[in-house]
Amino acid sequence: MQVALKIWRYDSSTGERALREYEFDAPEEATLLDCLDIVKERQDGTLAYRKSCRMMICGSCGMRMNGAAVLACKVRMYEIAQAGEVPVISAMGNLPIVKDLVVDMDSFWQKFKAMKPYLQPGYEEPEDGREYRISQERMNAVHKESLCVNCGCCVSECIAMESDPEFLGPQALAKGMRFVGDPRDAATVERLEEYSGEHGIWECTRCFFCNERCPKGVDPRDAIAKLGAEAIKEGIDRDMGAKHAKWFIRSTETTGWLRETELVPKTQGVVSSVKQMKFAMKLISHNKAGLAFPPHVAADVGEARALHKLVHEQGRLGFEGHVQGERALAKLAHGYKEGRDPYAPGSFPRPYLPEGEA
């Protein structure tokens, strides 16, 4: 088949940047990574990119196609080439580019290390001298998190990291959940304390781009939600994000609605709220916010309360209150077709238009 690619070339030593187009013959089963190999082999040996396993295991070949992070060895080119599309290939986002499609992963690994990504055992050995065994059902709670191949595709797309490069980010936090959810680990509370600090769990904006782009079905945003629920369960709720989440729970339980006007004092505290009183009065006068009292109570509030009661009765607090999505695991297969395939031609949400160089 005939394939055409546009590739953003970049050399950090000179600052030179250029969008180059390549056309070539490739076998019909070729992936994007195969196509880059062909370009390097036949047309330009200076093209730089990372690769190793060629089978979605090593996590080396993360890059962007039409502005969305992909694993190059996962993307089949057949349908794209048949449609006559010329995808634009560029380096991943949120990490400095070293050359062409190669990014500096140093900050990525620093955050990974900060999670203490190893088991800190603290379980009691069984008396019969046999090994400590965990049920499959229990390990299912961290199954998705265990699938991470450290490719960085989620980090590339993280909007919270764009505004705060120190945010721990989706990959590191998903790794943290891998150990918080492991019943053999004895450092759960210490971990949750650390992950709940500045640049931690509560800095995530819930944009879900990491779930959208993770090629391994890890669903990092779900992992962050599980960490938040675990932190609250352990009473670690100093951060405004935790207070905010707690008020959502409380207000739906008591009224069946979100009591928005009370959200500010409950989240930021009384002193901060008093300082914002003038602004609040302006919002109320323009019908942009309601009076806090009396709170609006939904007609069917009993249903909301029954749901909260059920969660408590079943003991589904913390990460156990989260439903594991099968869809994430289905995404592991090539050609995932249920619903929208995020790798299909035309599926990429954001065109890559670098500043001044469209």
Q: Which residues bind ligand SF4 (CB under 6 A)?
A: 59, 148-154, 157-160, 170-171, 174, 204-210, 214, 216, 218, 220-221, 224
What residues between 18 and 57 interact with ligand FES by CB under 6 A? 33, 51-54, 56-57
Three-state DSSP at 345 gives: coil
CA distance 85 to 74: 18
Q: Using CB distances below 5 to 8 A depending on partner kind, what does residue 221 bind out of ligand SF4, ligand FES, none?
A: ligand SF4
CA angle 182, 186, 188 (to 5 degrees): 70
CA distance 35 to 88: 13
CB atoms within 10 A of CB 327: 12
User: Could you give the angle at which helices 301-313 and 240-255 cross, rounded to 10 degrees?
Assistant: 120
Residue closer to ligand FES, measured from CB, 59 or 228: 59
Q: Does 217 bind ligand FES (CB under 6 A)?
A: no
CA distance 81 to 267: 51
Q: Using CB distances below 5 to 8 A depending on partner kind, what does residue 9 bind out of ligand FES, ligand SF4, none?
A: none
Nearest-CA neighbor of 319 among 240, 216, 235, 233? 233
What are residue 19's DSSP bridge partners? 8
Cβ of residue 145: shortest distance to ligand FES, in angstroms?
Answer: 18
Q: For 145, which DSSP code?
A: G
Q: For 146, which DSSP code?
A: G
Residue closer to ligand FES, measured from CB, 56 or 92: 56
CB atoms within 10 A of CB 323: 7
Q: Using CB distances below 5 to 8 A depending on partner kind, what does residue 204 bind out of ligand SF4, ligand FES, none?
A: ligand SF4
Cβ of residue 39: shortest distance to ligand FES, in angstroms?
Answer: 16
How many residues line the site for ligand FES (CB under 6 A)? 13
Q: Using CB distances below 5 to 8 A depending on partner kind, what does residue 157 bind out of ligand FES, ligand SF4, none?
A: ligand SF4
Q: Using CB distances below 5 to 8 A depending on partner kind, what does residue 152 bind out of ligand SF4, ligand FES, none?
A: ligand SF4
What are residue 22's DSSP bridge partners? 5
Cβ of residue 142: shortest distance to ligand FES, in angstroms?
Answer: 22
CA distance 162 to 146: 26
Q: Using CB distances below 5 to 8 A depending on partner kind, what does residue 53 bind out of ligand SF4, ligand FES, none?
A: ligand FES
Q: Does 59 bind ligand FES (CB under 6 A)?
A: yes
CA distance 46 to 245: 50
Cβ of residue 343: shortest distance to ligand FES, in angstroms?
Answer: 14
Q: Using CB distances below 5 to 8 A depending on partner kind, what does residue 158 bind out of ligand SF4, ligand FES, none?
A: ligand SF4
Q: Which residues of the shown chain bind ligand FES in the complex (CB under 6 A)?
A: 33, 51-54, 56-61, 71, 73
